Structure 1
Amino acid sequence: MTQSAGDNQQLAPITDASRETVGGELEEVVADAGYSNGEQLRQVQSSGIKVTVPSNRAANNHGTGKHFQKSDFTYLPEQDAYRCPAGKYLPHKIISRRDRLHLYSRSGCNQCPMQARCTNADRRSITRHFDEQILDTADQAATPKRMVQRMTLVEPPFAILKRMLNQGRFRCWRLASASSEYSLGVLSYNLMKAINVLGVQGMLARLR
């Protein structure tokens, strides 16, 4: 339970809680795009856990789908620059610490024969996140098959719990009380699943 309005700061705390629950044996974390956050991904990966999270970043398409996308540009680590499809370099310009982004840009696009496929302006810019490589690695691991598997395993329990908890609205006030109410819902769900799998007699036999 959390009072946070979004999920993008929750990946590391949830991973730590999950690892504690399973006794430290945690190899991979799979989450939806709402959890995509470079700092959180870095924190989880630094503990030796593989992270599978699709990117939640907008495409840099300059307002039209006919233009080259960021993936069409090649990052050159040694030069800390991007090379465009026409072979020109976009050098590093500025840093936005608030958005955790590097900006790469070049002018003179009016003289380029490929301008119509790149930009309507004389300048083309590309941004690179501080944690770009980590975000890309987590995104590449989020294959359609992997994410469908996550959805089929994770989403049904929450849908059932939401119905059990009166469409997800808690009757209790404050975080501690709401957490207790939710824990009762989880306990009820687990008992229901156990009865469906083992049957009442099977459960009683295991308690003897």
Structure 2
Amino acid sequence: MGFLKNMHERRIAADQEARVDQPVVITIARDYGAEGHEIGKMLSVELGIPLYDNELLVRSASRAGEALDKVAEYDERMAAEFMAFLPDRVDSRTLSDKLFKSMSQVIVDLAATRSCIIEGRLSDYLLRNSPNHIAVLVTAPFDERVEIVRAKRGLDKRAGAKLVREMQHAREAFYKRYSAGKWKMTDGKDLVVNRAKLGRQGCVDVIAAAYRFKLSELDQVKTGVEQRQDQ
């Protein structure tokens, strides 16, 4: 019994030692029209950590060996999760798959390097086993999202609703395709923030509080590891 207890304690200690070397990373999944990108930008300023969205595209372009304008054409479909995976577009699917593989490695590398915010690109799924990962979903009721999109794009209500439905469906299909059906947009979230109830700043405040709590928790773990190493 004592042997098993010692093994368990050693395993916990090893996990904690590995954890203190990993940065805290926030991933943001966004229901279409909920202003997740705007909230991510505000959060980046609030916490003083970088937001990776378009920069992922640049890094991935370098990895994939493609011209940036060509990558942008396809990543626009990936980023919007729209049309890139249709079965009748073999050329689109092939390059999109290549880019997604490249982006996946970029995301994993970033998450191991420094504290940051990563938007979309299935980053919550890719980092699901990271102990210092905070997975966030920014959402809002359908009607609220339609109004946000309608106002921004100058659409009438019917056209706004159609666009939100199409893009939301496409984002969900993107999750299904690139996780091989193992993950949904709503899966594995540590926080779900409602932009309609909290507003942009309220969402930022909630996510920032979770980030600061995680940093404080890590400090405690680090202190415990250092104390064990001094014994």
- When the two structures are superposed, what TM-score results if normalisation uses the length of structure 1? 0.31
- The structure, 1 or 2, with the larger RCO (C-alpha pairs under 8 Å, 6+ apart) is 2
Greater gyration radius: 1
The structure with the greater share of residues assigned to helix is: 2
- When the two structures are superposed, what TM-score results if normalisation uses the length of structure 2? 0.29
